Chains A and B, each alone.
Chain A
Amino acid sequence: MRKYTNEICLGLLVSLISLSSPATAELLIPEADFKEKVQRIAILPSRIQIETSDDYAAARRIDELVATKLEEAGVDIIPASEFLEVEQATARTMGGSYDAFTGDRDMAKAKTINDLAIREFERLHEFDAYLIASVVTTPSSFRGGRARWDGIEVKTKGSGGDLYGSLTASSLKISVIDKTEADADYMVEQTGIQLLLDMDGGFWKAARFVPVPLEERLTDEATNVRAVEAALAPLIELIGTPVTTETAATGGASE
């Protein structure tokens, strides 16, 4: 038993680190600067970087949730639907960037359309920063029937017996970026959404990886709402308007 003492200690340390790892929120400029610079935010259409049964519908669902949550919190926004309208009008004038026969995307054409749409959008609207919501793939650490990543912990279908390691999961990444310099991030926040690959079984039943069906990805309203709320919380804390009495009586009840 003594032989394994070091390994057990290391194991406990690793477990404690993974248990206490929070969501990866990062404010990249001083708080005062952020509050001064960011008054009105334009939301860009969400980017779905995981496989789903309908990426377009999933993106629009996330767009709506993000806009609703920020509006409820009193943040001054331009919803993603406004940009989408400008972008689609631009794409229509250029015949689109997708091949109608193969679905392939002409990346050069897509960039041109995006650049023109941004120029037109900025001409039409006054705002200070962009917000981009992306659903990304991320590893989650797995042990003892629980998976943890980006601030959340979920139960897996089975315990997996003595297995440990990583599963694949999805997270919602919220980036608030400078309007003028595309690469200048003001804030990045990432919160876990759901597993993409689950673990079933354990000691008495063979352990088995179970892919989460495409139809079950980003389709559960409660899961999406929780992820959006958690991912937007730091932003709302910074620039949201304090909750009114009326809101507190209804929306605040669940707190």
Chain B
Amino acid sequence: MIQRLTLTLLILMATPVAFAMGNHSAPKGSKDHNRFIKELRETYPVIALAPAELPQELRSQEAVDALEAELTRKLGFKEYTVIPAAVYAELWQKELEALGGIYDPITGQLIPENLLVAKARVRATMVESHDVDAFLETSVVERDAAYLGTVITYGGVKERAYVKGPSWGTSDVAMGVLRALFLTAELVTPEGNVIYKNAGGIQLRFKESRDDVVVTPVEELLSVQEYNRTAAHLALRGMLYDYRTLSRDIRARKTENARK
């Protein structure tokens, strides 16, 4: 048994697996990162929230409000002035009505030119009326999340990939892919340039269980406030914390986010 564990550990150390989702776009080095954080705060002190976009089957005003409250709290804590999403939503609705929508009602296809016009007009109006410097656009998306062994890491969250098992296989290193919900956050200038982009893991849509999968019921998705809060923290931390705090935070969150 000890030999097997040693073998597993050796292989795990030799083949660490990374996954693209969740890496924030802030500079990596400590000096560059700290400069980035400082410049963000000085150049874009007024941030307007855009209403969080949720998949159709998960859409609920309660979830949207909870996410917005958390994002506002986090930004406010770092002394950003936050313009509520309701302001954006009202202007957005007016633009959609003026343009007749941004989707083709027959095919469901997005009409990119209408989307660009609507966004540009809403941003221009908000810059004029509320002195907005940047817009925080967030959405809940479902993406692949890969696991190695029995633990899955997605968007900064660490969790067991298995409800039961794994019992199959010929060596001790199994890997695979599950689906998870992420909160993505993009900080965008009024001209539409993305200046920060990151994603925080919310929760798994299903887990492995020996030769089967256990699906998380739809009503349980986005319903755990602690998960939503953590996701908001993970999505925004790269634009809020200096390098030292971030380094400490990563260590702290890794332990804190470990779920059973």
Contacts and interface: CB of A to CB of B under 8 A. Distances in A.
Interface of A: 3, 7-8, 10-11, 14, 56, 88, 91-92, 95-105, 139, 142, 160-168, 196-197, 201-203, 206-211
A97 B105 contact: yes
A91 B173 CA distance: 51
A205 B161 CA distance: 24
B238 to A, nearest CB: 20
Interface in B76-128: 93, 96, 100-110
15 contacts: A88-B106, A92-B106, A100-B104, A101-B101, A103-B103, A139-B177, A162-B11, A163-B15, A163-B17, A163-B175, A164-B169, A165-B169, A165-B175, A209-B17, A209-B18
Main secondary structure of the interface of A (DSSP, over half): mixed
B170 A11 contact: yes
A209 B19 contact: yes
Contact of B170 (A10, A201, A208): A10
In this complex, the member of A101, A167, A207 whose beta carbon has the largest number of chain B beta carbons within 10 angstroms is: A101
Nearest to A165: B175
Contacts of A102: 56, 103
B43 interface: no
B221 to A, nearest CB: 17
B15 A161 contact: yes
The interface centre, meaning the residue of B14, B170, B175 with most chain A CB atoms within 10 A of its CB, is B170
Contacts, number: 120
A10 to B, nearest CB: 6
B214 interface: no
B15 A160 contact: yes
Given A105-B108, A211-B143, 12 more contacts: A11-B170, A96-B104, A98-B105, A99-B101, A100-B101, A100-B102, A101-B96, A103-B102, A164-B169, A196-B144, A206-B18, A209-B146
Residue among B20, B100, B171 with max Cβ neighbours from chain A (10 Å) = B171
A8 B56 CA distance: 47
B37 interface: no
A105 B57 CA distance: 10
Contact of A164 (B3, B93, B108, B175): B175
A101 B40 CA distance: 32
B148 interface: yes
B165 interface: no
A209 B20 contact: yes
Contact of A162 (B15, B100, B146): B15
A8 B144 contact: no
B29 interface: no
A91 to B, nearest CB: 5
What are the 7 tightest A-B residue pairs by CB atom distance, in nearest-first order? A100-B101, A96-B105, A11-B170, A165-B175, A98-B108, A161-B15, A103-B103
B20 A98 contact: no
Contact of B144 (A163, A168, A206): A168
B108 to A, nearest CB: 4
A164 B173 contact: yes
Nearest to B107: A56
Contacts of A202: 15
A203 B19 CA distance: 17
B9 interface: no
B217 interface: no
Contacts of B169: 11, 164-165
Most buried by B among A8, A98, A165, A201: A165
Nearest to B57: A104
B17 A166 contact: no
B174 interface: yes
A103 B107 CA distance: 10
Contacts of B106: 88, 91-92, 96, 98
Contacts of B14: 161-162, 203
B107 A98 contact: yes
A11 B148 CA distance: 18
A101 to B, nearest CB: 5
A90 B175 CA distance: 47
A165 B178 CA distance: 12
A197 B101 contact: no
A11 B171 contact: yes
The CB with the most chain B CB atoms within 10 A, among A11, A103, A142, A167, is that of A103
A163 B105 contact: no
Nearest to A54: B109
B192 interface: no
Contact of A209 (B102, B104, B107, B177): B177
